[in-house]
Amino acid sequence: MFAKLSYSLYLALVFVFGFWGLNLHAQEAEKQLLEQEITRFFYKKTLGFDIVVDSKIKSKINAPADAFEWSCNKKEIRIAAANSEAREHAVYHFLETVFGFNYLSADAVDRPSLYPLATPDNKLTYYRQEQRKLLLEIEKNGLPKKACYEEPAFEYREVFYGECRRGQFANFHGLTHSKDNTFENHTNWGLWVHTLHKLLPPQEWFGKHPEYFALRNGIRIPDQVCLSSKEALELVKTNLAKEMAAKPEALYWSVSQMDNYNYCECAHCAAIDKEEGSAAGSIIRFVNEVAKAFPNKIISTLAYQYSRSAPKLTKPLPNVNIMLCTIESNRAKPIAGTDFETDLANWSKLSNNILVWDYVINFSHLVGPFPNWQVLGANLSLFKKYGVNMIFEQGYNKPSGEFEPLRAYALSKLVWNPSLNTDSLYKYFIEHYYGDASEEVYALIQLQTEALNQSGMSLTLYEPPATFINSFLSAAYLQEYTRLLDQALQKTSAEPILYQRVQMLMQSIRYATLECMKLTAAGDNWIFSSNPTPQNQHTHGLLPNGPSYAQVLDTFTQYAKLYGPSILHERYLTPQEYYARTQADWAQATCTHKALNKAILYQQAPDKAYRDGSNIKDEESWHYQQSINNGLRGTIEYQFNWMGWWGRDAEFIIDLGKEDTIRQVSCRFLENNQAWIVGPSKLLVQGLKLNKGIYLVQQEEQVANATVGLKLEVGKYPLSLTFSKPMYTRYLKIKIINPGKLPTWRGVNGNGWLFIDEVELY
């Protein structure tokens, strides 16, 4: 066809039909790409293939935009697709299918070659003699007779991983990507997500017109826009028009809620949402008005958290896109059958333009093990079943998260075709990427998945590894993973590239070990000795002859500093900071003091959800072995060691067993305003004397917390009270005052949590 035309005829056509000329030129580029790759396989020999690159698909009438077809027989190759990206994808698909060429990652291009050691990236193919046999066969007898037509399951396919933006990865796997491979650009999108503050900036409008913003518990706050405000709607339209004028080529424009739960509850918004059975009601009515003003654009909005359920009455206009998010879903099991499926089914009745925003990693612990392997394909198949047309798989844009190369590869294959067998995909990748270590690496994935399944626990996006200490991250499982990967390291010790790849997997186990074994639930493997001295702390390790925990921390930090990730949480915590924090935690983890393991009588017991496993009977009984005075201080994870009181004071009596002299009380509290955890306003201590069943106050001391209500970094802070004179007493009453309402800067009208551990007497 066109590509076979002579050069002079080509020039003539360019002259007469300029637009054809462009097309011809593009097809020539794909032909060259194909020739160039084949030449590389055969080590500079051209085999004289007769190549046709066409823009017309014959297999299907009205094939979707990115569909392609190819066929081959002996010396003939034909490639066809309507656009140049799809043709390039077709070239790679052909080379992958017929020659076994694969692009595992930018650092692992599995290119077949007659000369296996010709280039460094061909090192791996040394183990694949069958590839070489195949090439010899093609050299001798020509290409096999084959034909293929492919179309994508989803029209928009974005896999948000650093790996997918490197080299030719996106082109090879047919991902939707911008020409410059940047993260900020989502092809064809002008504004992407959480845009209402951009379109109605609170710094400009909230002071003058608080009524344009959300009413929560009786007060206006800037967190979200009041979507029944006509003035807010007009301003959003005006500002959106300006944005569009600056980027006229973009089709999709997001008009969407901000990333918090504080949607407007004013009488108008509340009435709409009640009538619609969902907070999506006021959103869709608002967005439809915007969409009417821009009939040639598509207005996208979120169905996210509080707005995930579809409205009962209002249908999104045809030029509205719904960005439906799976953020809450359990990743231990496929989504099918959950309330997310119900929401998806309902939205799919209202709209045929749905982008599913799916999440595939743990964003608070980028290196931690996250065995969601069994849901990746199943969930994409479910989205396909309901006619979802766009997919955004959110991983992480910086390299070296847990199993990043495998995740990027498998997801890229699955967003094209979710019905592929995921197990075969994982096996293929592992075999080619980990070579001699593949058996152990595959076993690691299997074992983690089985252990998670057996425990019946959910796998969600932000949980600390220690959550799974009785599941797939128990000491016994961590030991087994370590043994497997030690074996894999031994097997690859003479192969630096493979050895390095296995080390990156070991990083995940090192991290989980440090994070899980700091809990008393680690039993004999606990990082701290139950009878600690500076000499015996964390000098032992997970395995009898293995490295100590101190060495594990050193090795983990060294590797992370060299090879990433540059931060361990999606927004913060460099490896150096992690090292310093862990060292500080270790130095302060245990303590001895005069109230150590003494009996406690709660006058206000902590909330049931945050008692750190303590079995608290009632507020009349003495309790022993309480977390609050067990000599083990909580870390920044509020889920462990801490006791929590919501909107109430912590109030209890400690029985020292006999009279003793106390000079100082110190209590540590947690700050984490995202989780509604705030510092106390005051610490009050009374020395009591028990007289005929009644406690009489002998002495009272108190100290105010100077930082109460301030916006502090997430962390643990001390509040100490040195008495005006020593207190000689057997019973002490401790009262830690909860400031009650959250500070106004938090933007939420709710009660704060008080998290305390440990209360120490000196």
On the CB side of 36, CA atoms within 13 Å amount to 9
End-to-end CA, the chain: 90
Beta 390-394 vs 650-671: how paired, if at all?
unpaired
Q: How far is CA 141 from the centre of its chain?
A: 49
Which window, 27-35, 44-52, 227-235, 533-541, contacts Zn ion (CB under 5 A)?
Answer: 227-235
Amino acid identity of 630? N
Asked whether the beta carbons of 489 and 498 are under 8 A apart, the reply is no
Rounded CA separation 276/392 (Å) = 27
Indicate whether 307 belongs to the interface with Zn ion (CB under 5 A).
Answer: no
Nearer to Zn ion, 256 or 508 (CB): 256
Nearer to Zn ion, 226 or 466 (CB): 226
Tell the smallest beta-carbon distance from residue 211 to Zn ion (Å): 8
Q: Reduced to 3 states, what is the DSSP secondary structure of residue 663?
A: strand
Q: Which of 27, 71, 113, 228 binds Zn ion (CB under 5 A)?
A: 228
Rounded CA separation 354/344 (Å) = 9
Nearer to Zn ion, 215 or 759 (CB): 215
Q: Which of 266, 283, 506, 568 binds Zn ion (CB under 5 A)?
A: 266
Tell the smallest beta-carbon distance from residue 231 to Zn ion (Å): 12
Compute how many other C-beta atoms are within 10 angstroms of the C-beta atom of residue 505: 24
Q: Which of 51, 79, 200, 226 binds Zn ion (CB under 5 A)?
A: 226
Asked whether the beta carbons of 730 and 655 are under 8 A apart, the reply is yes
Indicate whether 475 belongs to the interface with Zn ion (CB under 5 A).
Answer: no
Beta 76-81 vs 102-105: how paired, if at all?
unpaired
Tell the smallest beta-carbon distance from residue 747 to Zn ion (Å): 15
Which residue is associated with the tokens 């009996």? Answer: 599
Which window, 104-112, 224-232, 300-308, 734-742, contacts Zn ion (CB under 5 A)?
Answer: 224-232
Which window, 260-268, 530-538, 555-563, 583-591, contacts Zn ion (CB under 5 A)?
Answer: 260-268
DSSP annotation of 643 reads: E
Which H or E run includes 685?
strand 682-691
**Contact letters for Zn ion, residues 637-676 (x by CB under 5 A):** ----------------------------------------
Please state at what angle helix 18-41 crosses helix 84-99, rounded to 10 degrees: 20
Tell the smallest beta-carbon distance from residue 218 to Zn ion (Å): 13
Nearer to Zn ion, 272 or 759 (CB): 272
* 485 closest CA partner among 513, 462, 516: 513
Tell the smallest beta-carbon distance from residue 277 to Zn ion (Å): 17
Which window, 56-64, 265-273, 579-587, 709-717, contacts Zn ion (CB under 5 A)?
Answer: 265-273
Tell the smallest beta-carbon distance from residue 284 to Zn ion (Å): 15
How many residues make contact with Zn ion (CB under 5 A)?
A: 5
Q: Which 3-state string (H, E, C) describes 348-402?
A: HHHCCCEEEEEECCCCCCCCCCCCCCCCHHHHHHHHHHCCCCEEEEECCCCCCCC
Burial of 6 (0-12, 13-18, 19+ CB in 10 A): exposed
Tell the smallest beta-carbon distance from residue 264 to Zn ion (Å): 3
Indicate whether 264 belongs to the interface with Zn ion (CB under 5 A).
Answer: yes
As beta bridge partners, residue 59 has none
Nearer to Zn ion, 265 or 577 (CB): 265
Which window, 262-270, 375-383, 407-415, 647-655, contacts Zn ion (CB under 5 A)?
Answer: 262-270
Which window, 30-38, 223-231, 412-420, 467-475, contacts Zn ion (CB under 5 A)?
Answer: 223-231
Nearer to Zn ion, 270 or 443 (CB): 270
Which window, 135-143, 162-170, 256-264, 322-330, contacts Zn ion (CB under 5 A)?
Answer: 256-264
Indicate whether 262 belongs to the interface with Zn ion (CB under 5 A).
Answer: no
Which window, 30-38, 96-104, 175-183, 221-229, contacts Zn ion (CB under 5 A)?
Answer: 221-229
Question: CB within 8 A of 1, min separation 6: which ones?
Answer: 52, 53, 54
Nearer to Zn ion, 269 or 425 (CB): 269
Nearer to Zn ion, 269 or 356 (CB): 269
Tell the smallest beta-carbon distance from residue 749 to Zn ion (Å): 15
Tell the smallest beta-carbon distance from residue 314 to Zn ion (Å): 16
Q: Which 3-state string (H, E, C) describes 701-729?
A: EEEECCCCCCCCCCEEEEEEEEEEEEEEE
Indicate whether 269 belongs to the interface with Zn ion (CB under 5 A).
Answer: yes
Tell the smallest beta-carbon distance from residue 253 to Zn ion (Å): 22
Binding residues vs Zn ion (CB under 5 A): 226, 228, 264, 266, 269
